[in-house]
Amino acid sequence: MKIVFSPDILGTDMTKRKPSHKRKTANPRQKSKARQGSLENSGRKPSRPGRGADSDSTSPAGAAPSVAKGEARTPRRRFPGRTEAPERPIKRESERRKASTADGLWFYGSHAVLAALANPRRGCRRLLVTREAARQHGETLQNLLRARQAPLTAESAQRAQLESLLPEGAVHQGLALRVEPLPALALEDLLDRLADGGDRPNDGGPNDGGQDDGNQDDGQQPGSAGRQVIVALDQVTDPRNVGAILRSAAAFGALAVIAPARHTAPASGALAKAASGALEALPYIEVSNLVRALAKLKAAGFWCLGLAGEAGPTLAQADTGADPRAGKSVGKRVDRMAKAGAPLVLVLGAEGKGLRRLTRENCDALARLPTRDPIASLNVSNAAAVALYQVLGH
């Protein structure tokens, strides 16, 4: 049975359509025409929002410029309003080092400053001395300044003035000296001097800043007699380690320390302080490629021995030929090297990384120091001192 409600019961007229609660959206075309009509009534010109900073000045802000028919359009920027940064020239590390040392370096510490003043090859520009340092080193400073060809006077300074010029935490001991870099010495120059019978590459340069520490019992200078040994560093970047290696190399009589020009510690105040005067006595040679430098040294008759913790023979076994595993072409060549005291290149790598693959492959032999657990490795500067004593101190 179908029930039909009458209009009287519902209280509404069912014959009329109920209005919708949804709001009607205007037609976009009608909306655009309405907006254009309102702009004409207000006197403004219709415009489209444009991008780029080169729009017509008479048009509203952001309007796109009109382009005549056949005229080429200027390409729009991908990011409007953003200016491109100018290209910066890429400088090599050697160029950056030259720029940083163009105005000179500050050496500090008594040994480094006194050794630099005693070296006639070192150009010195300015010397700052505190009262305490003048009382302690006054006579030595007067003698060194009097012996120098270029005039140089000592300036009295406060400790605060020195600390403002030097790196933070530098132990200056009341002395600071602004110096020029030493003339560069190439590896070929060193080999030529050795071939000509020269005892030392730095003939005429002092090795201890005019002070005798009483520890040289034989009176020999570095490289003046005995075996010819050169220390090669493979990317050792800490200046304090390099300075300590220079000090040990000079103390035991090595000829020079060579290192790659990139990824190594340049000659600086921190390095000179750690070297304690050895930077003035021993050549610190930078080479463009360490592998090629080792090849030149081997062609000149040097034997390349690399230190590696995983090597089989110890340094003493490799140097005396007691273990046939010491060399790649085993046994006889190592034994002949030890008997003849052939020239030696002692190659050391950076801490942690050790020797790089190409450097390792271009060494004639690998050896290790006889360390024991739990301390299986040494700092690279300590390892260099022990190795130098083994090959030069005996």
Instruction: Give residue-wise pLDDT tens across range 173-216.
Output: 999 999 999 988 999 999 999 888 765 555 444 444 344 444 44
Share of the chain above pLDDT 90, in %: 40
Residue pLDDT, tens place only, 308-345: 887 878 787 787 655 444 444 434 444 444 444 678 99
How far is residue 343's CA from residue 298's CA, in Å, rounded to a whole number?
Answer: 9
Q: What is the pLDDT of residue 3?
A: 42
Q: What is the pLDDT of residue 314?
A: 79
Choice among 96-110, 174-188, 363-377 with the minimum mean pLDDT: 96-110
pLDDT higher for 83 or 285? 285
Cα-Cα-Cα-Cα torsion 145, 147, 149, 150, nearest 10 degrees, comes to 0
Give me the mean pLDDT over the 119-128 stretch: 93
Taking a C-beta distance cutoff of 8 angstroms, is the pair 360, 366 a contact? Answer: yes
- Is pLDDT of 299 > 60? yes
3-state secondary structure at position 187? helix
* DSSP line for 146-172: HH-SS---EEE--HHHHHHHSPTT---
Half-sphere exposure of 237 (CA within 13 A, CB side): 7
Give me the mean pLDDT over the 232-256 stretch: 94
Domains for the chain: give ranges and CATH numbers.
Answer: 100-183 (3.30.1330.30), 185-212+220-394 (3.40.1280.10)
- Is pLDDT of 70 > 70? no
Choice among 2-6, 48-52, 87-91, 231-235 with the minimum mean pLDDT: 2-6
- Is pLDDT of 127 > 90? yes
Give me the mean pLDDT over the 30-52 stretch: 57
* DSSP line for 310-362: T-SSBHHHHHHT-SGGGBSSTTHHHHHHHHHT--EEEEEEBTTTBS-HHHHHT
Picking from 29, 28, 73, the residue whose alpha carbon sits closest to that of residue 51 is 73
Model confidence at 9, pLDDT cuts 50, 70, 90, reads very low
Element (H, E) at 230: strand 229-234
- Is pLDDT of 141 > 80? yes
> What value does the mean pLDDT of the chain take?
75
How far is residue 245's CA from residue 84's CA, in Å, rounded to a whole number?
Answer: 47
How far is residue 275's CA from residue 258's CA, in Å, rounded to a whole number?
Answer: 15
How far is residue 246's CA from residue 27's CA, in Å, rounded to a whole number?
Answer: 86
* pTM score, whole prediction: 0.66
- Is pLDDT of 276 > 80? yes
How far is residue 175's CA from residue 110's CA, in Å, rounded to a whole number?
Answer: 6
Model confidence at 7, pLDDT cuts 50, 70, 90, reads very low
Q: What is the pLDDT of residue 11?
A: 47
Residues with Cβ < 8 Å from 324, sequence gap 6 or more? Answer: 330, 331, 334
